[in-house]
Amino acid sequence: MTTATGTRPHGTRARYVLGPGPGTGPGCRCDACTAANRDAERHRERQILYGRWEPYVDAGPARDHVRVLAAGGIGWKRVAELAGVSTGSVSKLLHGGPGDRPPSRRIRPETAAAILAVRPSAQTVAPGALVDSAGTHHRVQALVTRGWSQARLAGQLALTGSNFATMMRRGQVTAATTRAVRELYDRLWDKPPPESSQRERIAAARARNYAAGRGWAPPLAWDDDIIDDPSGRPAQGWKRPARSRRRGADLAEDAGQLLTRDGYTREHAAARLGVTPSTLDAALRRSRLARKQEHDAQPARVAGAAAAAGPPAEYEAKAG
């Protein structure tokens, strides 16, 4: 079995024999892969003993799958590389062999499984092939929430404003665009835009307001294994109530958990909570001041409570 990027998972015989991939390499000898190889060999021995061992399967499904991948921009040689099988095997599967031999009618089960496991993605298809735009849109939107204007992002991607707008409207983009946006996102997701000039500060504020008005999620609301999924949603709880309804104490409490328990930086905690760093700092200062006032007032309250209660009963008895 091979994933969309050509990496074989642990706990499989394929990784034990061929390595992590893509292509072939030294086999993995971890406990999980060794156990998978041992189980596969035991299964084979049992099937041979029972007379049910079939070392070959119908090649039709694998051949059809290679053709579908080719239509999506993945050539058959690339399929062979991702699946970790020889190019000769895939060539015979499609075109036959020397001397006008017909295409393979039957192939090894492991070969069929490896080919069928290859799936199109931005990493596997040709640069000009079209792929789903969900991950591209999610990444751009997340950067805008940080204050990166769409005009600045378009410049980083060497796109005109109209081409950038078209990219954000379409349900599919080229694999090359997807890769470029991913690389840009990986560079900028944890960095604020430059705000040294008045013009830059205005552009960043407008970008944040634009994103907030559309409910776009910040980078820390997205998990890496969800952001490319068209049906994926940001983490629950990232969207906070309106500022007028959000008490500073609540903000400080949530920030404290992110900073101490989860190890967030001040900048990342502010982004996750949907506020500016200065707003977060103010809430934390007010929270510290309130705790100090509570601490300073505690002795006075204790003394007042004691005075209101009067002298102890045993003292009154002695006095009588």
Q: 68-76: list long-range contacts, CB under 8 Å, 24+ apart.
A: 69/118, 69/120, 72/120, 72/125, 72/129, 73/120, 73/125, 73/126, 73/128, 73/129, 73/130, 73/175, 74/118, 74/120, 74/124, 74/125, 74/126, 74/129, 75/126
pLDDT beyond 60 at 297? yes
pLDDT beyond 50 at 243? no
Percent residues over pLDDT 70 in the chain: 82
Out of 98-102, 214-218, 263-267, 293-297, least confident range: 293-297
pTM above 0.75, yes or no: no
pLDDT for res 4: 42
> CB of 40 within 8 A of CB of 48?
no
Using DSSP, state whether 139 is helix, strand or coil. helix
pLDDT for res 305: 62
pLDDT beyond 80 at 88? yes
pLDDT for res 181: 94
pLDDT for res 177: 92
Distances (CA, A) of 37 to 8, 15, 51, 224: 14, 9, 21, 31
How do residues 109-165 score in pLDDT, each as one tens digit? 888 888 888 877 666 677 777 788 999 999 999 999 999 999 999 999 999 999 999
> CB of 66 within 8 A of CB of 76?
yes
One-letter amino acid of 135: G
Q: What is the per-residue DSSP string for 103-125?
A: PPSEE-HHHHHHHHT----TTTS
Question: Which position has the token pair 């490896």?
Answer: 114
Out of 154-168, 250-264, 266-280, 301-315, least confident range: 301-315
HSE-CB at 271 with a 13 A cutoff on CA atoms is: 22
Taking residue 130's Cβ as centre, other Cβ atoms within 10 Å add up to 17
Averaged pLDDT for residues 59-63: 91
One-letter amino acid of 145: T
Can you say whether the dihedral through the CA atoms of 194, 235, 258, 255 is positive or negative? positive
Whose CA is closest to 254, among 220, 209, 296, 204? 220
Confidence of residue 236 (pLDDT cuts 50, 70, 90): confident
pLDDT for res 245: 41
Q: What is the rounded distance in angstroms from the CA atom of residue 295 to the CA atom of residue 290? A: 9
Q: What is the per-residue DSSP string for 218-233?
A: PGGG--TTTTT-TT--
pLDDT beyond 70 at 313? no
In terms of DSSP bridges, do strands 172-174 and 130-132 run parallel, antiparallel, or are they unpaired?
Answer: antiparallel
Average pLDDT of the chain is: 80
Averaged pLDDT for residues 196-218: 91
